[in-house]
Chains A and B, each alone.
Chain A
Amino acid sequence: MTDESQQLESITQKEYKAGFVTDIEADSLPPGLSEDVVREISRIKGEPEFMLEWRLKAYRHWLTMETPEWAHVHYPAINYQDISYYSAPKKKDDAPKSLDEVDPELLKTYEKLGVPLDERARLAGVAVDAVFDSVSVASTFQDKLAEEGIIFMPISQAVHEHPELVEQYIGSVVPYKDNYYAALNSAVFSDGSFVYIPKGVRCPMELSTYFRINAANTGQFERTLIIADDDAYVSYLEGCTAPMRDENQLHAAVVELVANDRAEIKYSTVQNWYPGDENGKGGIYNFVTKRAACRGESSKVSWTQVETGSAITWKYPSVVLQGDNSVGEFYSVAVTNNMQQADTGTKMIHLGKNTSSTIISKGISAGRSQNAYRGLVRVTPKAENARNYTECDSLLMGDKCGAHTFPYIEVKNPTAQVEHEASTSKISEDQLFYCKQRGLDTEDAVSMIVNGFCKEVIRELPMEFAVEAQNLLGLSLEGSVG
C-alpha cells in the first residue's frame, strides 16, 4: 500500500459526533415481547380499540414469520426478548403542550445535535417533530400549519384527534403482513409523525422529523404516515442519530406515503444512526420499510436519501405507480465504512399507464464495508408506455471493501422502455494529488471528490439539508481513503 492509500485509510477512521447519551429519567417497559407488551403499549398511549386490534393482528402474524435472509448482510440472530419496546422520557403529567414544558435536558440534546427546537431559533420554513426513543417530545409550528388545514403531529396524537384518517390509511401502503420487520413494527410501534395535506394546499414550509435513540437496549419502531390529498404538495425531511453504545440496537421503522390526484410528496432522509466502531462493535440495525403509493393520476413521489450511519442498513424506499401518468423517483447515496453493511435500493412498481420512474443510486464503500444496491423495476401487463431509467454508480475507497449491484427487471408489457446503467470507480491518486497540489488537505480533497460523485443526488435535497449531507459525507469517510 502506498503512503497515499494509507493516508486515505486513516482519514476514514471517523469519529461519531452525535454519540453522546442524554442523562434523563425514562419510563421504560422491561425487555421482552408478548401480547401483553403489545396491549401495554396501546394502553399507555390510551389508544382506541381499532388500533389495539390492528396491533394484535400484526403481532400474531409476526409470530408466524421468519427472519428474512436474502439481503447481502450478515449479523448474529436478534433476540427479540432482550429488547425493550417502549421508553419515554419521564414527564410531569401529560404530553408537553408547549416547548416551555419540554424537559430542558431534551432541548439541550437537540441543540447539540444541531436541531434547536426553539421556534424562534428555527430556520424559517422548517417545522420539526422530535422523536426521542419511543415518543414525540416536541412538535413545532403545529398551530401555524393548522391554519392551512395541514395536520402535522405525532402519530400517537393523530390516533386520538384524527382516528378516521389513521384508520383509513395506516397499513394501506405497507400492510402488516408485508414483511417481518413491518409486522413487528405494526405490533409495537410507539410514535412517529403524521402528516395530512388537504386538497389543493401547498405546504408552506419543510416538515421535518428528527429521530433520536437514547435509551440502551431499546428498539425504535417509529411509524410515519403522510397523505397528500388531490393537488397537494409537501416536502418532508427526516434525520436521525443515536448514542455510541457497544450493543447493537434495533430500529425498524415503517413509512407510508399516499399521493392522491396530482399530489406531490418529496421525502428526504439524512440517516446518521450510530454505525458501530471501526471493529464493528455496536451500532444500529436499521431495518426499514418505506413505501409510497402514487394512487392518483399524475401524482409524484420522490425519495431522496443520504445514508451514512447504521451498522446494518436494510432499506428499499419504493413507489407503487397506480395512477396514470404518475412519477416515482429514487435518489440515493449510501456510504459504508469500517465494518458497516448496507443493502439498499428501491422498487418501482408500474401499474398505471404512462408511468415513469427514475433511480439514481450512488454507493460509496470504504474500510472493510459491504455496500449493495438492490433494485426492482416491475412493469405489469396493463402498464402501457411505462418508462424507467436506472443509474447505479459505485465508488470504492481501498481494496478491502465491496460493492454489489442486484438489479431485477420484470417487464410484462412490450411498450415499456427500461434503461439501466452501472459503473464502478475508485478515487484515483491522481485526483487526490491534483486537489492537494491546489492546497486542499486530504480530508477536504476526499470530501470534495465524493460530493462530486454524489452531486446528482445531493442537489435533490432541500438547501439546508444538502449542506448537512455534504458535511456528513466528509465526516463519514474521515479516516478511510485508499
Chain B
Amino acid sequence: MLEIKNLHASVGGKEILRGINMTVNPGEVHAIMGPNGAGKSTLSNVLAGRDGYEVTQGEIIYKGENLMELEPEERAQRGVFLAFQYPVEIPGVSNIYLLKAALNAVRKYNGQDEVDAIDFLNLVRERMKLVKMDEQFLHRNVNEGFSGGEKKRNEILQMAVLEPALAILDETDSGLDIDALRTVAEGVNALRAEDRSIVMITHYQRLLDHIVPDFVHVLSEGKIVKSGDKELAKELEKSGYSWVHDAPEGQTA
C-alpha cells in the first residue's frame, strides 16, 4: 500500500524529516507516537502533498505510484485521506455540500457518475450513525462553530463517506472526551478492512486500547527511532520518550 524510503523533508528551509523508512501493507493499522515537534504532522502533510513541504531525498510509493508526482487532490482521489489535527472552517459552505463534492471528485476519478441525491443522503445518514453525529451537522457550515470534539468526529465522518484506501489520522483522539473517544474509535474500527490501511498519529495509549494497532513506531527528531507491536506503546506510556532515546542504537527496529 505505502512504502516510505529514506524520506527527508524540510519546511521553510529547515530539515524536519531526516530519513524515514516505513512500509504499510493493506489492512494494517500503524500507530505513530513521539514527542511534540518530532515531525509527525510534517510527515502527514508530506504524504498529503501540502505546499511548502519540500522532499529533499527519498521516495514515497503508494499503490505502486510515485506519490510525490501527484497533486494533493490527485492523491485524495486515489484514496489518500488525511484527518487533520486542526480541521479548517469554511464559512458559508455546508458540510453536506463539501461531502458531496468530495465524494463526486473521487467517483469522477474512478470513472463513476455523480452520486444520486437519494443514495447519497442514505449513505451519509448511515455513516453519521457510525460516529453518532446528529443530522443538523450536515447543514451547518464546515467546522464553523464546531467544538473541538465535533470537528474530529466530522473528520471521521468524511473518512467514512469517502472510504479511502489509506487513512492518516493526525491526533484524531486529542480533544475528545472519554465517550467521544470510544465512539470515534468504534467508527474507525468499523472502517478497518482488508484493503484499507490506517496510520494513526497519537500521544495516548488509551486510543490504542480501543483501536489496536498492528505496529507502533516512535518518531523523534525526524526519524523513526523505534518500532514494535502494541506492547511498545504500553512501555512508552510507563517510561516516557526518554527511554527510547536512552536505548542504544542497536535496539531500534
**Could you list which residues of chain A lie within 8 angstroms of chain B, going by C-beta atoms?**
2-4, 428-431, 433-442, 444-445, 448-449, 451-456
Contacts and interface: CB of A to CB of B under 8 A. Distances in A.
B253 to A, nearest CB: 30
B176 interface: no
Given A4-B51, A438-B158, A451 B73 contact: no
Contacts of A4: 51-52
Interface string B64-77: 00000001110011
Nearest to A450: B92
Interface of B: 48, 50-52, 71-73, 76-77, 81-82, 84, 87-93, 97-98, 101-102, 105-106, 109, 141, 158, 162
Contact of B102 (A3, A433, A439): A439
B51 A438 contact: no
Given A438-B162, A439-B76, A440-B73, A430 B101 contact: no
Contacts of B72: 433, 436-437
A254 B197 CA distance: 63
Contacts of A2: 51-52
Nearest to B51: A4
A439 B102 CA distance: 5
Contacts of A434: 84, 87-88, 90
Q: Which of B48, B87, B101, B106 has the most CB of A within 10 A?
A: B101
B37 to A, nearest CB: 20
B139 to A, nearest CB: 12
Contacts of B76: 436-439
Contact of A444 (B50, B90, B101): B101
Given A437-B82, A440-B73, A441-B73, A453 B162 contact: no
Top 9 closest A-B pairs, CB basis? A452-B92, A439-B105, A452-B93, A438-B102, A455-B92, A439-B76, A434-B88, A436-B72, A4-B51
Contact of A435 (B82, B91, B98, B141): B98
Q: Which of A435, A438, A444 has the most CB of B within 10 A?
A: A438
> Is chain A's binding surface mostly helix, strand, loop or mixed?
helix
B51 to A, nearest CB: 4
Contacts of B93: 448-449, 451-452, 455
B109 to A, nearest CB: 7
Contacts, number: 81
A448 B141 CA distance: 12
A440 B105 CA distance: 6
Contacts of B158: 438
A412 B93 CA distance: 40
A19 B156 CA distance: 45
Contacts of A454: 92
A436 B92 contact: no
A53 to B, nearest CB: 51
Nearest to B106: A439
B119 to A, nearest CB: 18
B51 A431 contact: no
B88 A448 contact: no
A174 B52 CA distance: 55
B91 A453 contact: yes
A31 B88 CA distance: 56
Contacts of A440: 73, 101-102, 105
Contacts of A453: 91-92
15 contacts: A431-B90, A433-B50, A433-B72, A434-B90, A436-B71, A437-B82, A438-B102, A438-B105, A439-B101, A439-B106, A441-B73, A445-B73, A449-B90, A455-B93, A456-B92
